[in-house]
A and B are shown apart, each in its own frame.
Chain A
Amino acid sequence: MRTFWLFAVCLPLIAWTQATPNTSDSYKQVLEKIQQNIVTVRVVIKVDVKTEEENESQESKFTLQGAVLNNDGLILVSGVLLSSESFKQLIGLEDEGEVNITIVPQSFKVIFDAETKEYEAKLVATDSQLGIAFLKIMNLDGRTITPIAFANEDLTVGRELVTVSRLPKGFDYAPYFATGRIISEVSKPRRAYLMEGNITEMGLPVYNMKGEAVGVLVRLRHGLKDEEVDFGFRSNFGEDDGAAFLLPASALRPLIEQAQQRAASVQ
Chain B
Amino acid sequence: MRRLFGGLLGLVLLISLNAQAQGRAALEDALRRDIERARDRVFPALVNVLVVDRYFEGGRAQYSLGGGSGVIVSPDGLVLTNYHVASDAVRLFCTLSDGVRLEAEALWHDAMTDLSVLRLKPPANAPKRAFPYAPLGDSDALKTGDYVLAMGNPLLLASSVTLGIVSNPKRVFLNPFNQELENAEFERGDRSGALTRWIQHDALILPGNSGGPLVNLKGEVVGINQLGGSGLGFAIPSRIARSVLEQVRRTGRVERGWLGFRAMPTEKLRRADGVLVGAVIPNSPAEKGGIQPGDVILRIDGKPLNARFPEEIPLVYLQIAELPIGKTVSIELQRNGAQRTVQAQVERMEPYYGDEDEFRTLGFTARDITRPMARTSRLPEEGVQVTGVRPGFPLDTAEPKITTGDAILQFGERKIRNLNDLREAIEASKEQENIPIVFQRRTETLVTVIRNRPPSPPSPSAELPKAWLGVRTQVITQPVAQALGDPNLKGFRITEVMPYTEASKAGLQVGDLILALNGEPLEAFRTQDARDLERRIERMDIGREIKLTILRHGERREISVTLEPSPASAEAARSVRQNELDFAVRDITALDRMRNRWREDQQGVFVTDVPNGSWGQLAGLRNGDLILAVNEQPIQTIQDFQQVMQEVIRQQPPVVILFVLRDRETSFVFLEPDWKAITQ
A residues bordering B, Cβ < 8 Å? 42, 44, 46, 48, 50-55, 57-61, 83-85, 96, 100, 102, 104-109, 116, 118, 120, 122-128, 133, 188-190, 222-224, 254-255, 258-259, 262
Distance (whole angstroms) from the CB of A78 to the closest CB of chain B: 15
Query: Considering the complex, which residues of chain B in the window 456-484 have a beta carbon less than 8 Å from any beta carbon of chain A?
Result: 456, 458-459, 461-464
- Complex alpha-carbon distance, A106 and B456, angstroms: 7
Across the interface, name the chain B residue whose C-beta is closest to A254: B539
- Complex alpha-carbon distance, A118 and B58, angstroms: 24
CB–CB B464/A100 < 8 A? no
CB–CB B392/A44 < 8 A? yes
Please tell me if B390 contacts chain A, counting CB pairs below 8 Å. yes
Distance (whole angstroms) from the CB of B159 to the closest CB of chain A: 23
Q: 17 other contacts beyond A106-B459, A122-B459, with CB at 8 A cut-off?
A: A44-B392, A50-B609, A51-B623, A54-B64, A55-B612, A58-B58, A100-B624, A105-B458, A106-B456, A107-B392, A120-B456, A124-B462, A125-B462, A188-B528, A188-B532, A223-B530, A254-B539
B residues bordering A, Cβ < 8 Å? 58-59, 62, 64, 390-392, 396-397, 399, 455-456, 458-459, 461-464, 527-532, 535, 539, 569, 571, 595, 609-612, 617, 622-624
CB–CB B623/A126 < 8 A? no
Cβ of B612: which chain A residues have Cβ within 8 Å of it? 54-55
Cβ of B392: which chain A residues have Cβ within 8 Å of it? 42, 44, 59, 61, 106-107
Across the interface, name the chain B residue whose C-beta is closest to A59: B391
- Complex alpha-carbon distance, A188 and B533, angstroms: 12
Across the interface, name the chain B residue whose C-beta is closest to A61: B391
- Complex alpha-carbon distance, A106 and B462, angstroms: 13
Cβ of A55: which chain B residues have Cβ within 8 Å of it? 609-612, 623
CB–CB A126/B463 < 8 A? yes
CB–CB A84/B461 < 8 A? yes
- Complex alpha-carbon distance, A172 and B535, angstroms: 42
Cβ of B461: which chain A residues have Cβ within 8 Å of it? 83-84, 126
Distance (whole angstroms) from the CB of B543 to the closest CB of chain A: 14
Between-chain CB contacts (< 8 Å), 15 pairs: A54-B64, A59-B58, A83-B462, A83-B463, A96-B595, A102-B571, A106-B456, A107-B455, A120-B456, A126-B461, A126-B464, A188-B531, A223-B530, A224-B527, A262-B462
Distance (whole angstroms) from the CB of A43 to the closest CB of chain B: 8
Cβ of B396: which chain A residues have Cβ within 8 Å of it? 61
Partner of B569, one of A52, A61, A84: A84
- Complex alpha-carbon distance, A190 and B609, angstroms: 37
Across the interface, name the chain A residue whose C-beta is closest to B612: A55
Distance (whole angstroms) from the CB of B145 to the closest CB of chain A: 43
Cβ of B62: which chain A residues have Cβ within 8 Å of it? 57
- Complex alpha-carbon distance, A35 and B593, angstroms: 48
Whether A100 touches B528, Cβ cut-off 8 Å, given contacts A58-B58, A126-B463, is no
Of A54, A120, A123, A258, which is in contact with the most chain B CB atoms at under 10 Å from its CB? A54
Across the interface, name the chain A residue whose C-beta is closest to B528: A188
CB–CB B464/A258 < 8 A? yes
Distance (whole angstroms) from the CB of B584 to the closest CB of chain A: 11
Cβ of B528: which chain A residues have Cβ within 8 Å of it? 188-189, 222, 224
Pairs A-B, 5 closest by C-beta atoms: A44-B392, A61-B391, A123-B459, A189-B531, A52-B622
CB–CB A46/B463 < 8 A? no
- Complex alpha-carbon distance, A55 and B65, angstroms: 11
Cβ of B609: which chain A residues have Cβ within 8 Å of it? 48, 50, 55
Partner of A100, one of B390, B535, B623: B623
Cβ of B532: which chain A residues have Cβ within 8 Å of it? 188
- Complex alpha-carbon distance, A51 and B539, angstroms: 36
Cβ of A127: which chain B residues have Cβ within 8 Å of it? 463-464
Cβ of A116: which chain B residues have Cβ within 8 Å of it? 399
Across the interface, name the chain B residue whose C-beta is closest to A266: B462
- Complex alpha-carbon distance, A108 and B455, angstroms: 11
Distance (whole angstroms) from the CB of A155 to the closest CB of chain B: 18
Distance (whole angstroms) from the CB of B539 to the closest CB of chain A: 8
Distance (whole angstroms) from the CB of B573 to the closest CB of chain A: 12
Cβ of A190: which chain B residues have Cβ within 8 Å of it? 531, 535
CB–CB B459/A105 < 8 A? yes
Cβ of A122: which chain B residues have Cβ within 8 Å of it? 456, 459
Across the interface, name the chain B residue whose C-beta is closest to A53: B622
Whether A85 touches B456, Cβ cut-off 8 Å, given contacts A55-B609, A59-B58, A188-B528, is no
- Complex alpha-carbon distance, A127 and B612, angstroms: 32
Cβ of A123: which chain B residues have Cβ within 8 Å of it? 459, 462
- Complex alpha-carbon distance, A123 and B58, angstroms: 24
CB–CB B464/A46 < 8 A? no
Distance (whole angstroms) from the CB of A254 to the closest CB of chain B: 8
Cβ of B455: which chain A residues have Cβ within 8 Å of it? 106-107
Distance (whole angstroms) from the CB of A135 to the closest CB of chain B: 9
Across the interface, name the chain B residue whose C-beta is closest to A50: B623
Distance (whole angstroms) from the CB of A228 to the closest CB of chain B: 13
Across the interface, name the chain B residue whose C-beta is closest to A255: B464
- Complex alpha-carbon distance, A197 and B15, angstroms: 94
Across the interface, name the chain B residue whose C-beta is closest to A83: B463
Partner of B458, one of A58, A106, A189, A224: A106
Distance (whole angstroms) from the CB of B437 to the closest CB of chain A: 18
Cβ of B397: which chain A residues have Cβ within 8 Å of it? 109, 118
CB–CB A52/B624 < 8 A? yes
Partner of A189, one of B390, B535, B569, B623: B535
Across the interface, name the chain B residue whose C-beta is closest to A106: B458
Cβ of A44: which chain B residues have Cβ within 8 Å of it? 391-392
- Complex alpha-carbon distance, A189 and B538, angstroms: 13
- Complex alpha-carbon distance, A259 and B461, angstroms: 13
